[in-house]
Amino acid sequence: MLPTDLLMSEHRTIERMINPINKQSSTIGSANKVNTEFISVTVDFIRTYADHCHHGKEEGILFRELFKKKLSPEHDATMKELIQEHIYARTTTRNLEEAMKDYTNGNTEALNQVRKFLNDLAVFYPKHIEKEDTTFFLPSMQYFTPEEQDAMLKEFWDFDKNLIHQKYSKVADKMESLMSSPP
C-alpha cells in the first residue's frame, strides 16, 4: 500500500458528503430555512475529517517530506496550489459557521450566505480531489524510496491513532472553560 492509497481512500469518504450538501443547499433554496444540525455536523466533518485528519496528513507529512525533495517545477507548483486550496476550504468552512451563527441569531439575510458557502464547498471538493488523485498523488510517490513510503505510511497511521484523543481533549478544554466562567 502506498501512502497516497490511504489519502485517496479518505477522498472517497469526503466525496460522500457532496450529495447531502447539495441537497441541503437545494432545501434552503426551496424551503427558505436551514437544518442547523446538518450545518453543525457538516462543519465538524470538514474540520475534523477533511481538514485535520486528511489535510493534516497531506500538509504535515506528505508535503513536509516533499519539501525536502527536488521536485519538478510542475509538482512544486501543484503542491503550492493544493496548500492554497486547503486554506480556501478552511476559510469557507469558517465563513459557513459564522453565517450559520448569524442566521440562528435572527439574521434571516444570512440564510443566503449559508447556502452560498455550502455551494462553494460542494463545488470545491470534487475539483480539489480530482487534482490530487489524477495529477499529484501518484506522481509524488516517485520522489520516495519504498522504505521512505513505508515510513510515511506508518506516520499516517500514527497520526490517525492520536486524532480522536486530540479532538476530545479540545472538547474537554472547551467544556472546562465554559463551566469555569461566571454565568
77 Cβ contact list (under 8 Å, min separation 6): none
Length of the chain, please?
A: 183
- Average pLDDT taken over every residue of the chain: 93
Q: How many CB atoms lie within 10 A of CB 99?
A: 23
Task: Please tell me the pTM assigned to this model.
Answer: 0.89
Average confidence (pLDDT) over 123-152 = 97
Can you give the pLDDT at residue 176?
A: 80
Q: How many CB atoms lie within 10 A of CB 108?
A: 10
Q: What is the pLDDT of residues 71-121, one digit of tens each?
A: 999 999 999 999 999 999 999 999 999 999 999 999 989 999 999 999 999
Can you give the pLDDT at residue 165?
A: 77
Give dist(CA 100, CA 40) in Å, integer. Answer: 9
Residue 183 reports pLDDT greater than 80: no
- Closest by Cα among 55, 66, 53 to 167: 53
Can you give the pLDDT at residue 166?
A: 80
Can you give the pLDDT at residue 170?
A: 78
Helical segments of the chain, H only: 3-15, 18-31, 36-44, 56-57, 64-66, 73-104, 110-131, 137-140, 146-180
Percent of the chain past pLDDT 90, that is, above it, reads: 83
Q: Which domains are assigned to the chain?
A: 3-169 (1.20.120.520)
Q: What is the pLDDT of residues 36-67, one digit of tens each?
A: 999 999 999 999 999 999 999 999 999 999 99
